[in-house]
Amino acid sequence: MDTETVVRAQRGDKGAYALVATEIAVRFLAVARRILRDIDLAEDATQQALLTIWQDLPKLRDPARFDAWSYRLLVRACYAEGRKQRRWAPNLRLLPMDESIVNDGLNSVVDRDQLERGFRRLSIDHRAVVVLHHYLDLPLDRVAEIVGIPVGTAHSQHHHAMRALRAALDADSRTPVREVI
């Protein structure tokens, strides 16, 4: 992110912030969607994060740290949306009725389905660590800084999450929904 534009936005320049928001919005939405596994919640989290960034930007003492700071606000917004998801959004789900099951390697439907199930069982904290590390390719010490946890905790959460996902992948492959004949 261009530091000069961030500084202008800090001083209340809405045009400058529009540039900032435009540059980060797509990436933020992609990260939020991967953490929350729901586009509506991801949009809400992204919107909330972008508004919070605008509001709190004057408090950012070192504009060069904008990226880490802004991701932290996004992850917090994801936590908030995740709590809503637990209560309401997931109670009714569209079922994959006719999904074909072809075990064709790493990207098979079975793997994706198992991963999806395994991932949804993770807490938002663990999901955030996985997404920031494996999607944004951030090292775990940077992930720890963003999420606001000790580096050791980030390593531990990553280990736990990957072990859970491995268990999900190793579970018996089965059609997500099938009818008894």
Partner 1 sequence: MHTERDVTRIVHSWLRTDEHESADRVLDTVLELLDTTPQRRALWSARRITDMNTVAKLVVAAAAVVVIAVAGYNFLPARGGVGGGPAASESPSPTPQPSPSPSPVAAFPPEGKLAVGLRHATTGGGVPYSFSVPTAGWTSNGAYGIDKSTGIDADDASFILWPDEAPIGVFADPCASVKAPPIGASAAKLAAAVAALPGTDLVSGPSDVTVGGYPAKHVVLTFGEDADCNADGQLAGEEFYLWYSPSEGSARYATELGSTIRVWIIDVDGAIVWIDGETFKGAGPGPEQEIQQIVDSIVFE
Please give the residue ranges that form the binding site for partner 1 (CB under 8 A): 12, 14, 17-18, 21-22, 25-26, 28-30, 33-34, 39-40, 42-44, 46-48, 50-51, 54-59, 61, 86-88, 90-95, 97, 106-107, 111-112, 115, 117, 120-121, 130-131, 134-135, 162, 165-166, 169-170, 174, 176-180
Q: Give least dist CB 2 to partner 1, A.
A: 18
Closest to partner 1 by CB, 131 vs 144, is 131
Q: Give least dist CB 33 to partner 1, A.
A: 6
Task: Return d(Cα 70, Cα 73) in angstroms, integer.
Answer: 5
Closest to partner 1 by CB, 150 vs 178, is 178
Q: Give least dist CB 5 to partner 1, A.
A: 15
CA distances from 16 to 23, 73, 74 (A): 11, 19, 20
Q: Give least dist CB 166 to partner 1, A.
A: 4
CA distances from 53 to 36, 83, 93 (A): 20, 21, 33
Rg, C-alpha atoms of the chain? 19
Closest to partner 1 by CB, 87 vs 100, is 87
Q: Give least dist CB 149 to partner 1, A.
A: 20
Two structure tokens written together for 111: 């793997």
Nearest to 6 by CA among 74, 42, 53, 76: 53
Closest to partner 1 by CB, 50 vs 144, is 50
Angle at 82 between CA 25 and CA 122, to 5 degrees: 110
61 burial type by CB count under 10 A (0-12 exposed, 13-18 middle, 19+ buried)? exposed
Task: Return d(Cα 115, Cα 42) in angstroms, integer.
Answer: 19
